[in-house]
Amino acid sequence: MNSSSAFDAQDVLAGCGWDEGWAAEFAPYAAQGLVPGRVVRVDRGLCDVMTADGIVRADTAFVTPHDPLRVICTGDWAAVDPDGAGDPRYARTYLPRRTSFVRSTSSKRSDGQILAANVDHAIVAVSLAVELDLGRIERFLALAWESGAQPLVVLTKADLVPDPVTLAHLVQDVEAAAPGVQVLTVSSLTGEGMDVFGTVVAGGTSVLLGISGAGKSTLANALLGADVMEVQATRDVDGKGRHTTTTRNLLLLPGGGVLIDTPGLRGVGLYDAETGVGQVFSEIEDYAEQCRFHDCAHQAEPGCAVRDAVDRGELAQRRLDSYRKLQRENQWIVAKTDARLRAEIRREWRLRGAEGRANHDAKRGGGRS
């Protein structure tokens, strides 16, 4: 390979996110004659890998462990057989992930499902064509923070909210549910906000998340400057669209950066996301530090700073309810893999239920003559 082609090869990898850190991690595999590439798509035991020589088809048989979180996925950096090693080649392993976006499966088991790896920005797409579901946004953000990526909320179809005052109120509602997260309004139809959005995604790897009909594929096409992703009409009755994206695809953007488009997610279950939940509800955890009891449940305990904040109007009751819901769900998911923890949680719930009933009875009794 001459110096010009070597430069071109490195340029291809750099466009996929390759850097000196990845090169250092890959050095042992390079010594074995393997070549690096980024996983573009995974489908039934095979994957498409972008290498310096273009996209190759690789078999994932060597990286299919029993742990579903360790299977190869879109966004991984893989070590694959060199050219001439057969068709398809084999992906022998993948490099340790810097970040990983994981949700729980929809089954009754405690399995997690990895959606994307080595992501810098987790973009939560939310359609303004339907009423905002702030609880769902908080759920997505908890998973995004837990992944290690920087979340970003993109409110799509802004052209459907022509009144600037109404749009400003909607943005404020989302910002209140997303502390520390940038909120953008965009319209793929008019181009509103797309320049700012394009600048954000140009720096690193981004994953597009959201329910079906949120406008993810339309956003992807706008960034790509071409109708690469199929788009179907949204139903007027509920604002939902069909699942136009059926696999997770890694796309190189002409303006720089890498985008991973995902299918619409019907279920967004938490998976060991305690840190992410705490980040989404950081103001509640700040108040909780002022509670009289360190294990305060923020219900009827004396000296509860969280309840006091609600009573003063500083904290919305909806936020507290959402916080409790996600905390309980996350505790239960974690407990599925730990029998002792599961027993402790059940015991704690019984005790708190008994305390709540006792407090209720005491209040009723205190009002009797």
Strands 89-94 and 54-59: parallel
Output the pLDDT for position 344: 56
Output the pLDDT for position 11: 80
Question: According to DSSP H, which parts of 230-338 are helical?
Answer: 274-280, 282-288, 305-311, 317-335
Tell me: the pLDDT tens digits for 60-91? Answer: 988 877 777 889 999 999 999 998 766 778 99
Q: Is the pLDDT of residue 204 over 70?
A: yes
Determine if the peptide bond prior to 88 is cis (ω within 30°). Answer: yes
Q: Which residue has the higher pLDDT, 266 or 100?
A: 100
pTM recorded for the entire structure: 0.81
Rounded mean pLDDT of 122-143? 94
Residues 41 and 248: beta-carbon distance below 8 Å: yes
Distance CA 113, CA 217 (A): 22
Rounded mean pLDDT of 243-264? 79
- Give 47's contacts (C-beta < 8 A, 6+ positions apart): 39, 40, 41, 57, 58, 60, 72, 78, 91
Question: According to DSSP H, which parts of 65-186 are helical?
Answer: 134-147, 164-177
Residue tagged 């719930």 (tokens): 349
- Measured over the CA atoms of residue 347, residue 295, residue 112 and residue 210, the dihedral's sign is positive
Output the pLDDT for position 244: 45
Rounded mean pLDDT of 261-270? 72
Radius of gyration over alpha carbons of the chain, in Å? 24
Tell me: the pLDDT tens digits for 312-349? Answer: 999 999 999 999 999 888 887 776 665 554 455 456 55
Q: Which of the four pLDDT bands, split at 50, 70 and 90, describes residue 237?
A: very low
Output the pLDDT for position 230: 52
Neighbours of 354 (CB within 10 A): 10
Output the pLDDT for position 369: 39
Q: Is the pLDDT of residue 255 over 60?
A: yes
Distance CA 329, CA 272 (A): 10
Q: Which residue has the higher pLDDT, 349 or 287?
A: 287
% of the chain residues with pLDDT over 90: 54
Q: Which residue has the higher pLDDT, 130 or 362?
A: 130
Closest CA relative to residue 204, chosen from 310, 118, 113? 118
Residues 82 and 36: beta-carbon distance below 8 Å: no
Output the pLDDT for position 85: 67
Output the pLDDT for position 18: 95
Rounded mean pLDDT of 10-18? 88
Q: Is the pLDDT of residue 357 over 60?
A: no
- Round the average pLDDT of the chain to a whole number and report it: 83
Q: What is the dihedral of CA 215, 138, 151, 333, to 10 degrees?
A: -110
Q: Is the pLDDT of residue 106 over 70?
A: no
Rounded mean pLDDT of 259-272? 76
Q: Give the least confident one: 109-118, 140-149, 217-226, 249-258.
A: 109-118
Distance CA 69, CA 64 (A): 10
% of the chain residues with pLDDT over 70: 78
- Give 54's contacts (C-beta < 8 A, 6+ positions apart): 12
Tell me: the pLDDT tens digits for 157-201? Answer: 999 999 999 999 999 999 999 999 999 999 988 999 999 999 999
Distance CA 70, CA 64 (A): 7
Q: Using alpha carbons only, what angle is made at residue 56 by residues 50 and 60, rounded to the nearest 5 degrees?
A: 95
Q: Is the pLDDT of residue 362 over 90?
A: no
Output the pLDDT for position 211: 87
Distance CA 36, CA 126 (A): 35
Q: Which of the four pLDDT bands, split at 50, 70 and 90, describes residue 245?
A: very low
Amino acid, res. 187:
S
Output the pLDDT for position 212: 83
Q: Which of the four pLDDT bands, split at 50, 70 and 90, describes residue 118?
A: very high
Q: Is the pLDDT of residue 216 over 50?
A: yes
Label residue 350 left, alpha or beta by phi (over 0 means left) and psi (-120 to 50 means alpha): alpha
